[in-house]
Structure 1
Amino acid sequence: MRLEIRHDTTYEFHPPMRGVVQSLRLWPSRFEGQAVVDWSVVVEGAVRGAGFRDGAGDKIETAVVMGPVETVVVSVAGTVETTDLAGVLRGHREKIKPAAYLRHTGFTKPDAALSDLARSAVDQTSGALERGHALSNAIGDAIAYTPGQTDHNTTAAEALAAGHGVCQDHAHALIAAALSLDIPARYVTGYLHAEGGIAEASHAWAELYVPDLGWVGFDPSNGVCPNEHYVRIGSGFDALDAAPIRGVAQGRGTEALKVDVNVVEAAQ
């Protein structure tokens, strides 16, 4: 499938900031399931640093905007050819060992309820891949997709206790459930061509490490493994660590954020 993506992120500062420094993780991952036809990341008025790929295989660049800064607009546009690999991250080059993803963060720390849910979900399963599907289905059933009821600070444990959340909460909860069973797991950001499925400004899911297969993606929000409708961007321990844009503003004041994302199927 050929997908065209436009992703505009606008930051407005009041009063203007003395300067803004951003770390950008906005380029599609390199693996057999997707090939970039064209891609651009533009930050008007910014001085761009040299790009590099981190140990997880994600491309990262810095952008510096000198003040006074009232507005920063990060514009992403491109086309990606995708192939359904049933969620398997085949051909992705990275240096970080799976065991590094056995650590939890404040977002993904499993509490007693998450641990109990995980044990119950895998009780009748055999094999690592089947356990991954069982965990993803259990999280999707336990946390109803309900926009507006959680925020970016909600933890996996809080989302499970509330019984509702969005894709960030589903991904955090799946990671926490997997970690409670000593299964390496990580947070993934990207885009989804929904076609009636669940998608937000951008999308998130989790990857679990399956021996003999490697990293396999699971999307509890939609009850599927990522397929040709998904574009993978980057990964991390949680939503904060994997954020496509992270930044620091020099100065005091308020910040307003607006995000517009459009993902459509392109003509071949």
Structure 2
Amino acid sequence: MYLTIRHDTSYRYEATVHYSIQQLRLTPASGAAQVVRRWTIDAPGKLDATFDAYGNVLHTLVINKPHDEIRLNVSGEVDTIPLVDGQLRDAVGPIPLEHYTCATRLTDADAAVRELAESVETLATANGLIKLSEEIVQRVKYRPGVTEVTSTAAQALALGNGVCQDHAHLMLACCRARGIPARYVSGYIEPGDVPHGASHAWVDVWLNSTGWVSVDVTHAAFASEIYCRLATARDYEAAAPVRGRRIGGLEEKLKVSVTVSAQVPPQMPQQMPQ
């Protein structure tokens, strides 16, 4: 599948900002599930590029002159590769699997989360992961505006409402409660007629029999060629597309627009026999 992606973010401040620093995980990498054909980030300053501990492309933007607005415009084209039952056919990665069995502040399991984790007989199979996803979305209905980016998996479960980030954190909490490595994925989905797009979050779970299996908990389905991966980490805090700090500004108004369109990649013309 050939995905065309546009992601525009703007921050407007009530007062002058004297200094700001932004960390951007807004650049996908080519791998077993996708090939990046073109990708650009337009920012109001120099972007310093490196990789974070998880191997994600990380850009740092520092603005040390007075400003009252920041605009980030991202666009690109990605060829995605069909997956069989979400199997990434990818290596373990730069981080040991044991790291992904450790709970974080956002994925710590309380008694209710542990009960949810045990509600499915096995999580050692792909079908077991889908069954747990179905249980999660049954107990936590998709409802924007109830949780925040700082909300934990346990809080979302207690509220009974959340978004894709909360669904992903709950899956991570359940897997880790049972000693199964799992990591958070941020990225994009071509929404089509399906709600909850186009900026999205899902999970990769390590199964000893198949390796990393990519699961969209919100839709209780395996990730497929309509998904573009941006970053992976233990939870949202370490994989957030944009994180920053500033001096000044008072109140902030955030506006985000994401569009993803898909088409079948054009085939190369066949050569006529001589």
TM alignment of 1:105-120, pairs within 5 A: 105-120=104-119
- Pick from 150, 153, 167 the counterpart of residue 170 of structure 1: 167
**Paired residues of 1:198 and 1:222 also in contact (CA < 8 A):** no
**Paired residues of 1:201 and 1:259 also in contact (CA < 8 A):** no
Aligned amino acid, residue 59 of structure 1: V
**Paired residues of 2:190 and 2:197 also in contact (CA < 8 A):** no
The yes-or-no answer on 1:260 pairing with 2:257 is: yes
Instruction: Please report how far the alpha carbon of residue 92 of structure 1 lies from its aligned counterpart in structure 2 after TM superposition.
Output: 5.4
Distance, in Å, in 1 between the alignment partners of 2:164 and 2:123 is 27
Counterpart position of 1:95: 94
Aligned amino acid, residue 25 of structure 1: R
Counterpart position of 1:37: 37
Distance, in Å, in 2 between the alignment partners of 1:13 and 1:92 is 43
TM alignment of 1:236-247, pairs within 5 A: 236-247=233-244
Instruction: Please report how far the alpha carbon of residue 38 of structure 1 lies from its aligned counterpart in structure 2 after TM superposition.
Output: 0.7
Aligned amino acid, residue 63 of structure 1: L
Counterpart position of 2:46: 47
Aligned amino acid, residue 179 of structure 2: D
Instruction: Please report how far the alpha carbon of residue 250 of structure 1 lies from its aligned counterpart in structure 2 after TM superposition.
Output: 2.1
Identity across the alignment (%): 36
Aligned amino acid, residue 15 of structure 1: A
For structure 1, list consecutive stretches of 5 or more residues without a partner in the other structure: none
**Paired residues of 2:198 and 2:260 also in contact (CA < 8 A):** no
Instruction: Please report how far the alpha carbon of residue 60 of structure 1 lies from its aligned counterpart in structure 2 after TM superposition.
Output: 0.8
Aligned amino acid, residue 57 of structure 1: G
Distance, in Å, in 1 between the alignment partners of 2:172 and 2:90 is 23
The yes-or-no answer on 1:205 pairing with 2:202 is: yes
Aligned amino acid, residue 39 of structure 1: W
- With over 3 angstroms needed to count, the CA separation of the structure-2 counterparts of 1:226 and 1:201, relative to structure 1, is closer
- With over 3 angstroms needed to count, the CA separation of the structure-2 counterparts of 1:126 and 1:42, relative to structure 1, is closer
TM-score (norm 1): 0.92
Counterpart position of 2:270: none
Q: What SS does structure 1 have at the residue aligned with 2:236? A: coil
The count of aligned residue pairs is 264
Distance, in Å, in 2 between the alignment partners of 1:20 and 1:210 is 41
Counterpart position of 1:72: 70
Distance, in Å, in 1 between the alignment partners of 2:216 and 2:93 is 22
**Paired residues of 1:146 and 1:166 also in contact (CA < 8 A):** yes
TM-score (norm 2): 0.90
Q: What SS does structure 2 have at the residue aligned with 1:90? A: coil
Per-residue CA deviations over 1:190-232 (Å, capped at 9, x if unaligned) read 0010112232451001111111422211111111111011000
The yes-or-no answer on 1:21 pairing with 2:18 is: no
Distance, in Å, in 2 between the alignment partners of 1:222 and 1:196 is 12
Distance, in Å, in 2 between the alignment partners of 1:127 and 1:105 is 22
Per-residue CA deviations over 1:23-72 (Å, capped at 9, x if unaligned) read 1111113212111111101102x1221x2223322111111122211111
The yes-or-no answer on 1:4 pairing with 2:4 is: yes
Q: What SS does structure 2 have at the residue aligned with 1:191? A: strand
- With over 3 angstroms needed to count, the CA separation of the structure-2 counterparts of 1:127 and 1:88, relative to structure 1, is same
Distance, in Å, in 2 between the alignment partners of 1:232 and 1:29 is 8
**Range moving further from structure 2, 68-77 or 129-138:** 129-138
TM alignment of 1:116-127, pairs within 5 A: 116-121=115-120, 123=121, 125=122, 127=124
- With over 3 angstroms needed to count, the CA separation of the structure-2 counterparts of 1:9 and 1:92, relative to structure 1, is farther
Distance, in Å, in 2 between the alignment partners of 1:67 and 1:116 is 51
Aligned amino acid, residue 20 of structure 2: V
**Paired residues of 2:47 and 2:61 also in contact (CA < 8 A):** yes
The yes-or-no answer on 1:137 pairing with 2:134 is: yes
